[in-house]
Copies of this chain bind each other. A is one copy, B any other.
């Protein structure tokens, strides 16, 4: 029997950028952030199960291309992601990404998807999972410093998952702040455009920093940060790129995803290699303490870890069957007789 059409085994569900946007609108962005947060929290709670290969980076003068694989023993996932700070000058994205899930038992991919938008969502959902855990009781005002591509997602995740009802925006580029405010209008969250970082921080219990310069920057200085806040530091995420003055780090209790990676990429690259940090997953499982007092400064030194992408890929896989928001991609050769690849090729001629 010769079947020239690809079989089901040959086809991998592919979620395009357009289909990802449709999926988000179908589910609703806040519901999707909540859904992602559930999957991320579930995977953090079974942290020890995962194969935690360090990301595989290929560096060049202009930026980096990385592969971030992980596996829970049943499913394998990886994300391809680039980071090229100068890209925006040429109208390209600083970061683009796609990802793949595969069945560990036979190695066959089960999902290929855009991940530029999905990464923005999972980063925000992760921030909110951690803020819910560490922010002071009753926190409802967030300062959002850096109003680029991640800022709206952060704001809505903090609203959907932590009950934040006011965001105070600041960016050195006023147009970015205006863009963020415009985009958040009508989303049921009070938006205040601020002229200075100091102004943005006024009355905020959560301070999120997310700026993009590839350099040792000081977005927050020591005197700006009062006691009792939760700092959600997103932007310091590769060697040579940090946002916070070291003095703030010394006053804070620092929480991280995966210390081996954060010590290289995060804010704590500014500290000694043995500076004490707490792993988020251990707080979630009750093995480590989170916030201990109302005065304590908690700091989430977020760099993004493969398991968060894995959670996001799992979430998307579980949504697409019902919605049909994917297209079958003829990615895998599947001859009737696996030993007869050449025969399949020959018959296609």
B residues less than 8 Å from A105 (CB atoms) = 60, 62, 84
Nearest CB of B to A307, in Å: 14
B residues less than 8 Å from A339 (CB atoms) = 88, 147-149, 176, 179
Q: Which of B17, B51, B56, B332 makes the CB contact (< 8 A) with A6? A: B17
In this complex, what residue of B is CB-closest to A90?
B106
Q: Which of B183, B338, B348 makes the CB contact (< 8 A) with A92? A: B338
Using a CB-CB cutoff of 8 Å, which residues 76-93 of chain A contact chain B? 76, 78, 80, 82-84, 87-88, 90-93
Asked whether, in the complex, the Cβ of B107 is within 8 Å of the Cβ of A65, the reply is yes
Contacts A183-B340, A332-B96 given; indicate if A107 touches B88 (C-beta within 8 A).
no
In this complex, what residue of B is CB-closest to A182?
B343
B residues less than 8 Å from A90 (CB atoms) = 106
B residues less than 8 Å from A107 (CB atoms) = 63-65, 82-84, 87, 96
Asked whether, in the complex, the Cβ of B346 is within 8 Å of the Cβ of A183, the reply is yes
Stretch from A67-75, A265-273, A280-288 forming part of the interface with B: A67-75
Interface string of A308-332 (1 = CB under 8 A from B): 0000000000000000000001111
Asked whether, in the complex, the Cβ of B17 is within 8 Å of the Cβ of A62, the reply is no
B residues less than 8 Å from A78 (CB atoms) = 67, 80
A102 interface residue per 8 A CB criterion: yes
Asked whether, in the complex, the Cβ of B67 is within 8 Å of the Cβ of A9, the reply is no
Asked whether, in the complex, the Cβ of A348 is within 8 Å of the Cβ of B58, the reply is no
Asked whether, in the complex, the Cβ of A9 is within 8 Å of the Cβ of B58, the reply is no
Nearest CB of B to A326, in Å: 12
A337 interface residue per 8 A CB criterion: yes
Asked whether, in the complex, the Cβ of A82 is within 8 Å of the Cβ of B102, the reply is yes
Residues of A within 8 A of B (CB): 6, 9-10, 14, 16-18, 21-22, 24-25, 29, 51, 53, 56, 58, 60, 62-65, 67, 69, 71, 73, 76, 78, 80, 82-84, 87-88, 90-94, 96, 98, 100, 102, 104-109, 114, 116-117, 120, 147-149, 151-153, 176, 179, 182-183, 329-335, 337-346, 348-349
Pairs A-B, 5 closest by C-beta atoms: A82-B107, A152-B342, A116-B333, A16-B330, A21-B348
